[in-house]
Structure 1
């Protein structure tokens, strides 16, 4: 059955056609996103939801989104999506962070120029029939110092354009390496130096706990007198009230804002000041950008729903279509290993270490780790997946770590999961053979070679004669057919294990008979999603 996608905001017909051309059933209802009640009524029918900013994906919507697998936001900002709740629900949230980069960067440069030359106010004055040449004395940007806060994707484009305008550019970005700064042609500085030396400051960072009010009242007091501030990134990066005061007393010569702490912004301390240029969040508002992000989100969502490829997700590691094809068996193995640990562990888990050996250590370990944790956590909540399981594991205080190493044994590659609880440490390892089928190769340090089936039986015992007979006779007498039978032991007379693949689930009464035989220290039926 083809995946079904709802487009609840205004995406282009070309973008909608991408879904259709990829074989996805799509409903295009561009006004539905504004009707919260109606959206909540119908969202349960869909595997994917494509939106812009009008649709608010709230708790009310997500509670009804019983089949939803992916939300695609055509644009950068995802303030209209409850990402933590979406993650708990196992829904991937994607955006298109690069589709409007050039447009946003160009808007920042335009706002800087408009602020430098007082173009909006001069235009309004001229439209009013005035001719006030002497009133609108601007400044050149050539040879002025531009301070860029955030030298990522958009910031680097602004830097390139500013250097073309013959500006001196300095940048504050904790993640900017010296090599990258040299490549961009900027000097990397600390924030205090940028505040003290910049003639113009432009911000290109997301709104986080670390960047919120990065231009606080305290930092505004450190600004070079006569500076001009441009914000086309996110509202909340600047203390608007403190900036308004600095504009009024002349410490700041001008400001140009496209974003505000509260939007839609119907009031702001910056409004109606003569030296301030404001626009209604137009950073991405060009025909090219709107088309680009719409096409991009349609392709990303289609790729995920059809191939499992994950691109530009905010709550899931990215996985290319090529990786998804190559890693498929290893992802399934990681999930099986986690599922084994989850099903044989009754006590609270404190920590999990995942070891990647050989060629698998060079794969997408973030994705493999998510699969392993999903398998582990599903034993207590079958509704969890690769998105939601890591969130729940973190909430429970489970410490997740990983180890990578070159080929260390007979296998070209393997994955090993070690679980630590208050009572014990338990491990299981597996590999993928050339046939693409995952197999268990070690349990409790005991080497085995076991195919993985949907219905399995795991038992532990002291090594002694008669175990095979007890298992075979008990299951046979109760109509349980054995598809595969694997044994292993540490040393003669010591710990031993058996792993049986069955044709159906082990009945509870048969489990009780095996436990009552007195020959086993543990008997545990297992279930794996092998399809």
Structure 2
């Protein structure tokens, strides 16, 4: 059955057509996002929800979203999506951070020109019939020092454009390496150095606890006299009250802001001040950018719903379509290993350690780890998935760690789980063979080679003669057909295990007969996803 997507905000027809061309059923209802009750009434029918900023994805809406797997936001900001509630519900939240990079960077450059030459005020004056040529004395950008706070995707484009304008660029970014700074043609500096040297300062960082008020009153006071400030990133990065005072005193010669601490900004301490250029969050507002993010979100959602590729997700490890194809069997293995532990463990789990060996250690470990946790959690709650499982594990106080190592033993790679409960320690390991099928290769430290099937039986016993025959006889007596069978032992006469792959789910009467035989220490029916 084809996935079904609802577009509840205004997206281009080209983007909507992408869903159709990929074989996804899509309903285009651009006005629905503004009517929360109407949206709640229909959301249960959809696997995906494509939105802009009007639709609010709230916990109340998610309660009705019984089939929802992914929310795609055409744009960067996801303030209208409750990401914590989405994660608990197992819904991936994607955005499109790259579709409007050029547009936002160009807006920052335009704002820099505007404040350097006082273009908005000069335009208003001329429209009013005045000819105040001497009033609007500007400054050149050539040979000026531009301080870029945040040299990531958008900041990097601004650096490139500024160098083309023959500006000297200094950049502050804790994640910018010296080698990358040389490649970009910028000087990597500390924040205090940037503040002291820059003629223009432009911000290109997200709003986090570490960046909030990065241009605080204290830091603004460190800037050189005559500096001009540009913010096209996020409101809250600049202390607006302090900036207003420095503008009035003349220490700051001008400011250009596209974003504000409170939006929509109907009133602000900066409004009405001379040489302050303000725009209503227009960074991404070009026809090209709006089209780009719409097309990008349609492609991303289609790739996930059809191929399992996770791109630009905010609450799930990203995994490209090609990566998903290669990792698919390993993700299945990780989930199966977790599922085995979840199904044979009755006590509360305290700690989970995952060992990734060989080729497995070179893959997307966050995705594999999420699959392991999901497999464990699904034994108690089938609705848990790779998105919600890590959140639930954290809420339960489960300690999760991982270990990576080069290839050891006879396999190119494997995944091993070590689980600690209040009373017990459990282990299981598995690998993927060349046929792409997962195998269990070790349980309780006992080497085995067990094909994983949908319906299985796990038994433990002491290694004594007659157990294998009795197991086969009891299964046959209850009309249980064996598809595959694997057994192993720690040593002669010691602990032994058997993993039986059955054609159909084992009957409760069969399980009872096996337990009543007194030959087995543990008898546990298992079910794995087909």
Both proteins in one fold, TM over 0.5: yes
Cα offset, 1:327, TM superposition: 1.9
Distance (whole Å) between structure 2 residues aligned to residue 396 and residue 282 of structure 1? 43
Distance (whole Å) between structure 2 residues aligned to residue 38 and residue 419 of structure 1? 46
Cα offset, 1:22, TM superposition: 1.0
**Residues 34-76 of structure 1 deviation map (CA, whole Å, 9 limit, x = unaligned):** 1111111111111111111122211222121111111111111
Matched with 1:42 is 42
Matched with 1:331 is 331
Say which SS state the counterpart of residue 305 (structure 1) adopts: helix
Matched with 2:7 is 7
Could you tell which deviates more after superposition, 507-516 or 315-324?
507-516
Matched with 1:458 is 458
Say which SS state the counterpart of residue 274 (structure 1) adopts: coil
**Residues 218-273 of structure 1 deviation map (CA, whole Å, 9 limit, x = unaligned):** 22222222211111011111121222222222222211110111221111111111
Matched with 1:318 is 318
Say which SS state the counterpart of residue 474 (structure 1) adopts: helix
Distance (whole Å) between structure 1 residues aligned to residue 351 and residue 199 of structure 2? 51
Matched with 2:56 is 56
Matched with 2:400 is 400
Could you tell which deviates more after superposition, 367-376 or 104-113?
367-376
1:214 aligns with 2:202: no
Would you say how many aligned residue pairs link Structure 1 and Structure 2?
A: 530
Say which SS state the counterpart of residue 5 (structure 2) adopts: strand
Distance (whole Å) between structure 2 residues aligned to residue 317 and residue 470 of structure 1? 47
Distance (whole Å) between structure 2 residues aligned to residue 251 and residue 55 of structure 1? 42
**Residues 462-491 of structure 1 deviation map (CA, whole Å, 9 limit, x = unaligned):** 222232234233333344333332211000
Say which SS state the counterpart of residue 126 (structure 2) adopts: helix
Kindly report which structure 2 residues correspond to 1:33-112, keeping only aligned pairs within 5 A, or say none.
33-112=33-112
**TM-score between the two structures when normalised by the length of structure 2:** 0.96
1:273 aligns with 2:243: no
Say which SS state the counterpart of residue 26 (structure 1) adopts: strand
**Residues 76-133 of structure 1 deviation map (CA, whole Å, 9 limit, x = unaligned):** 1111111111111111111111111111000001001111111111111111111112
Matched with 2:115 is 115
Could you tell which deviates more after superposition, 419-428 or 49-58?
419-428
Cα offset, 1:515, TM superposition: 3.0
Distance (whole Å) between structure 1 residues aligned to residue 453 and residue 22 of structure 2? 33
Matched with 1:32 is 32
Matched with 2:377 is 377
Matched with 2:416 is 416
Could you tell which deviates more after superposition, 125-134 or 473-482?
473-482
Could you tell which deviates more after superposition, 518-527 or 325-334?
518-527
Cα offset, 1:518, TM superposition: 3.0
Kindly report which structure 2 residues correspond to 1:417-432, keeping only aligned pairs within 5 A, or say none.
417-432=417-432
Matched with 1:282 is 282
Distance (whole Å) between structure 1 residues aligned to residue 350 and residue 173 of structure 2? 36
Distance (whole Å) between structure 2 residues aligned to residue 508 and residue 96 of structure 1? 50
Distance (whole Å) between structure 2 residues aligned to residue 394 and residue 226 of structure 1? 50
Cα offset, 1:509, TM superposition: 4.6
Distance (whole Å) between structure 1 residues aligned to residue 263 and residue 41 of structure 2? 27
Matched with 2:359 is 359
Matched with 2:248 is 248
Cα offset, 1:358, TM superposition: 2.6
Distance (whole Å) between structure 1 residues aligned to residue 493 and residue 12 of structure 2? 71
**Residues 122-150 of structure 1 deviation map (CA, whole Å, 9 limit, x = unaligned):** 11111111111222222222222111110
Q: Which runs of 5+ in 1 are unaligned?
A: none
Matched with 1:136 is 136
**TM-score between the two structures when normalised by the length of structure 1:** 0.96
Could you tell which deviates more after superposition, 408-417 or 88-97?
408-417
Say which SS state the counterpart of residue 210 (structure 1) adopts: coil
Distance (whole Å) between structure 2 residues aligned to residue 281 and residue 305 of structure 1? 32
Matched with 2:343 is 343
Say which SS state the counterpart of residue 327 (structure 1) adopts: helix
Say which SS state the counterpart of residue 206 (structure 1) adopts: coil
Distance (whole Å) between structure 1 residues aligned to residue 417 and residue 459 of structure 2? 19
Distance (whole Å) between structure 2 residues aligned to residue 270 and residue 43 of structure 1? 42
**Residues 491-531 of structure 1 deviation map (CA, whole Å, 9 limit, x = unaligned):** 011111111223333344543443343332222221111x2
Distance (whole Å) between structure 2 residues aligned to residue 21 and residue 506 of structure 1? 43
Matched with 2:526 is 526
Distance (whole Å) between structure 2 residues aligned to residue 260 and residue 347 of structure 1? 51
Say which SS state the counterpart of residue 151 (structure 1) adopts: coil
Distance (whole Å) between structure 1 residues aligned to residue 238 and residue 513 of structure 2? 70
Distance (whole Å) between structure 2 residues aligned to residue 525 and residue 270 of structure 1? 68
Matched with 2:16 is 16
Cα offset, 1:335, TM superposition: 0.6
Distance (whole Å) between structure 1 residues aligned to residue 460 and residue 246 of structure 2? 74
Cα offset, 1:380, TM superposition: 2.0
Say which SS state the counterpart of residue 50 (structure 1) adopts: strand
Distance (whole Å) between structure 2 residues aligned to residue 385 and residue 181 of structure 1? 40
1:195 aligns with 2:199: no
Could you tell which deviates more after superposition, 227-236 or 426-435?
426-435
Distance (whole Å) between structure 2 residues aligned to residue 21 and residue 487 of structure 1? 49
1:495 aligns with 2:508: no
Distance (whole Å) between structure 1 residues aligned to residue 172 and residue 118 of structure 2? 27
Kindly report which structure 2 residues correspond to 1:477-492, keeping only aligned pairs within 5 A, or say none.
477-492=477-492
Distance (whole Å) between structure 1 residues aligned to residue 139 and residue 90 of structure 2? 53
